[in-house]
Structure 1
Amino acid sequence: MNNLFTALIARRIVATVSAFLVVAIACTAGIWQLNRAESKIALAANLLARQQLPILSANISPLTLEDATERRMIARGQYIPEAAIWLDNRPRPIPPAGSNTSQSGFYLMMPLQLAGRDEILWVNRGWAPRNNENRESLPPVKTPSKVATIEGIVFAHPGKVYALGEGQAVIDAGKPRIEQNFDLRAEGKLRAWAQSPFILREVDTGIDDGLLREWAPLTTGVDRHYAYAFQWFALAVCGFLFWLITGLRQYRRQDMNGDQG
């Protein structure tokens, strides 16, 4: 037993420490991937539970983000299309059937003047494809010119992408506003508007306005997290087996040499 311990560990300190680090790092990464998958499942379950609650109305009384987040909501008002913001570099939420590539496009953020209230509600109206040849050539979108009723789900923001050098927004009436991210507070200060402290992500109700509203579920990517976790745990097992097998081979060679001696 002492000879086996010596062959596996005492004479292979560097290999043993290296194997331990590989196993520890791989197991940690695998557990992190499992936790990410479980977090997405829990978030999706929480979202589904909140959507079963009674539908809120944005026109009745002011609501806080805590009260309204992830709840269904109906809002009645008139769009302000000249203040629209196009959020760039947004992949299509659900790729078309048979396609594995992610198509880039825009989210259309548009303020809605709530009927009967002096308050603006920002609406994520949906996704539209981008013109790859001309970034400022925006897709055609139909906007109601009269008071409309919007149905959607409340979120704190429309999602963020990594962006470099973002500065203060500048309003140029001659150009469309194409931004990387949306800052609700900054928009309120920029236009001195009274705003709802959340956005409304419009759901698909069959309206043909040139926008897609097939939103990806929160559990998207769970299978990928499980696959990554399996790969990390497999790496940990392979690292341990490599350390063990090479150690046993070295022990056997030493034992054979000892017998011959």
Structure 2
Amino acid sequence: MNNLFTALIAKRIVATLSALLVIAIGCAAGIWQLSRAEGKIALAANLLARQQMPILSANAGPLTLEEASERRMIARGQYIPRAAIWLDNRPRPIPSVGSNSSQSGFYLLMPLQLQGRDEILWVNRGWAPRNNENRESLPPIKTPSNQVNIEGIVFAHPGRVYALGESKAAIDTGKPRIEQNFDLVGEGKLRGWAQSPFILREVDTGIDDGLLREWAPLTTGVDRHYAYAFQWFALALVGFLFWLITGLRQYRWRGLNGDQE
């Protein structure tokens, strides 16, 4: 036993430390990926539970983000198309059947003047594909000119993407804009109107307006995290087996050549 310990560890300090490092990194990364997956599952479960609560009405009275977050809400009002904001670099929420690559597009953020209230509710109306040949060409969509009833889920923001620096160009508030991210507080200050402290992500109710509202579930990517975790644990196992097998081979070779202590 002492000879085996010497052959595997004492005479292979560098190899042993290297193997321990690989095993530690692999296990730590694998556990981190599992925690990411469990976190997404917990978030999805919490969202589902909040959606089972009574439906809120944006027209009934002021609501805080804490009260309304991730809950279902209905709203009645009139869209303000001139203030629309197109959020760029948003991939299709759920890829089309048979497609192996993501399709780039826009989220359309549009303010809704709530009926009976001096308050604006920003609505994420949905996703539309981008014209790859002309980035400035916006997708054709339909916007009702009369009062509409919409239903959706409340979120703090429509999601953010990485952007290099801040845009310093003057903003023409009289026409739609293409932006990387949406600043709810900033829009309120820019236009000087009272706003709900959240956005409403509209759900699909069969409205044919040229926008896609097949939102990806929060558990999207869980399988990928499990796959990454398996790869990291496999790396740790391979590192251990490599260290063990090479050590045993050296031990056996030394035994056959009489080079044991």
Partner of 1:33: 33
Distance of 1:163 and 1:128 partners within structure 2: 20
Partner of 1:2: 2
Q: Is 1:254 aligned to 2:260, yes or no? A: no
Alignment TM-score, normalising by the size of structure 2: 0.97
Distance of 1:73 and 1:174 partners within structure 2: 28
Alignment TM-score, normalising by the size of structure 1: 0.97
Q: Is 1:205 aligned to 2:205, yes or no? A: yes
Secondary structure (helix, strand or coil) at the match of 1:54 reads coil
The structural deviation recorded for 1:22 is: 0.4
- The verdict on how the C-alpha distance between 1:139 and 1:75 changes in structure 2, with shifts beyond 3 A counting, is same
- The verdict on how the C-alpha distance between 1:8 and 1:63 changes in structure 2, with shifts beyond 3 A counting, is same
Distance of 1:40 and 1:255 partners within structure 2: 53
- Structure 1 window deviating more from structure 2 (183-192 vs 199-208): it is 183-192
Deviations 1:10-39 (A, max 9, x none): 111111111101000010111111111111
- The verdict on how the C-alpha distance between 1:118 and 1:49 changes in structure 2, with shifts beyond 3 A counting, is same
Deviations 1:40-85 (A, max 9, x none): 1111111111111110000011001011000000011111110000
| Contact 1:8/1:247 (8 A) holds in 2 | yes
- The verdict on how the C-alpha distance between 1:175 and 1:55 changes in structure 2, with shifts beyond 3 A counting, is closer
Deviations 1:182-239 (A, max 9, x none): 1111111111121111000000000000000000111111111111111111110000
Distance of 2:174 and 2:125 partners within structure 1: 22
Q: Is 1:12 aligned to 2:12, yes or no? A: yes
| Contact 1:136/1:176 (8 A) holds in 2 | no
The structural deviation recorded for 1:253 is: 1.2
The structural deviation recorded for 1:255 is: 1.3
- The verdict on how the C-alpha distance between 1:58 and 1:175 changes in structure 2, with shifts beyond 3 A counting, is closer
Distance of 2:41 and 2:48 partners within structure 1: 11
Secondary structure (helix, strand or coil) at the match of 1:172 reads coil
- The verdict on how the C-alpha distance between 1:27 and 1:211 changes in structure 2, with shifts beyond 3 A counting, is same
Partner of 1:108: 108
2:116 alignment partner AA: G
Secondary structure (helix, strand or coil) at the match of 1:258 reads coil
Q: Percent identity?
A: 85
Distance of 1:32 and 1:16 partners within structure 2: 24
Partner of 2:42: 42
Deviations 1:139-160 (A, max 9, x none): 0111110111110000000011
2:186 alignment partner AA: A
